């Protein structure tokens, strides 16, 4: 996503937020001022809601897996893949094209540059991957399987999905600040996504600390447990470790990018 365009307005200011309003307006426009928002909603509603819905319709009620459990599994795998694809070019593409250097030659701070990208992409991901598909799943579950989940618990489960996706947002952003190679920026997070389930073989305690425990692993996962009012098999530690890792990744990305020659 390119930050520089003719719609930007001249602004003055000092400090870390210099140019943030323009950058944020531009990035949000690329999410919600184009077809991207509804295309992403269509994609993730089809994957995370459509597949569980078809499974429920094709199976007798007494044999059907809970739709929310299938939703959690589908979004738990597909969501990070989508995040890595969307975030791959957020920084690397602009560094390689020279857009980042051009934007930063204006009265724009590096922290504002990263903050604008992070805020807009997180908001876009939340709306298109979590909120809208989640609401559709809630309605489909009530209408098709006659299962009405506790609203607060369901929202808490969606919040756990957000923490899970933020881990990959931060990881991809951090790698993008370190490298100009798009393959590495998307490949390493995907390798971790599919390889982390083998980490507990190195140490059993890792089973309760890796992001995988939020949406997969031993059932009930954290997301499923929150939605159905149960206690997660891995406890709530994965929420803490995954959230802290996401914050750490963003902090490293800021530290590296502010010291990097473009």
pLDDT tens, position by position, 243-260: 999 999 999 999 999 988
pLDDT tens, position by position, 175-184: 999 988 888 8
Report d(CA 209, CA 40) in Å as an integer.
30
Q: Which residue has the higher pLDDT, 91 or 50?
A: 50
- The domain ranges of the chain are 20-258
pLDDT at 1: 43
Supply the pTM of this predicted model: 0.91
pLDDT tens, position by position, 37-51: 999 999 999 999 999
pLDDT tens, position by position, 105-134: 888 899 999 999 999 999 999 999 999 999
Residue 213 has pLDDT above 90, yes or no: yes
Q: In which band, very low, low, confident or very high, does the pLDDT at 5 lie, cut at 50, 70 and 90?
A: very low
pLDDT above 90: percentage of residues in the chain: 68
């Amino acid at each position: 996503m390119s930050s520089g365009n003719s719609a930007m307005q001249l602004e003055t200011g000092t400090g870390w937020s210099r140019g943030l309003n323009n950058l944020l307006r531009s990035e949000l426009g690329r999410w919600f001022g184009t077809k991207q928002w509804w295309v992403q909603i269509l994609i993730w509603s089809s994957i995370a809601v459509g597949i569980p819905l078809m499974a429920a319709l094709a199976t007798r009620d007494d044999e059907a897996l809970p739709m929310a459990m299938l939703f959690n599994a589908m979004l738990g795998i597909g969501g990070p893949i989508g995040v890595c694809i969307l975030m791959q070019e957020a920084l690397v593409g602009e560094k390689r094209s020279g857009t980042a250097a051009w934007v930063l030659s204006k009265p724009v701070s590096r922290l504002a540059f990263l903050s604008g990208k992070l805020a807009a992409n997180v908001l876009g991901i939340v709306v298109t991957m979590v909120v809208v598909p989640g609401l559709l799943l809630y309605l489909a579950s009530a209408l098709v399987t006659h299962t009405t989940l506790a609203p607060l618990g369901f929202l808490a489960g969606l919040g756990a999905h957000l923490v899970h996706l933020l881990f990959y947002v931060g990881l991809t952003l951090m790698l993008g600040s370190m490298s100009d190679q798009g393959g590495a920026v998307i490949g390493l997070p995907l390798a971790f996504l599919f390889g982390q389930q083998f980490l507990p073989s190195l140490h059993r305690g890792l089973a309760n600390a890796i992001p995988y425990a939020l949406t997969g692993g031993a059932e009930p996962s954290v997301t499923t447990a929150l939605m159905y009012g149960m206690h997660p098999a891995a406890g709530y530690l994965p929420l803490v470790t995954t959230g802290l890792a996401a914050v750490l990744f963003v902090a490293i990305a800021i530290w590296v990018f502010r010291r990097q020659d473009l």
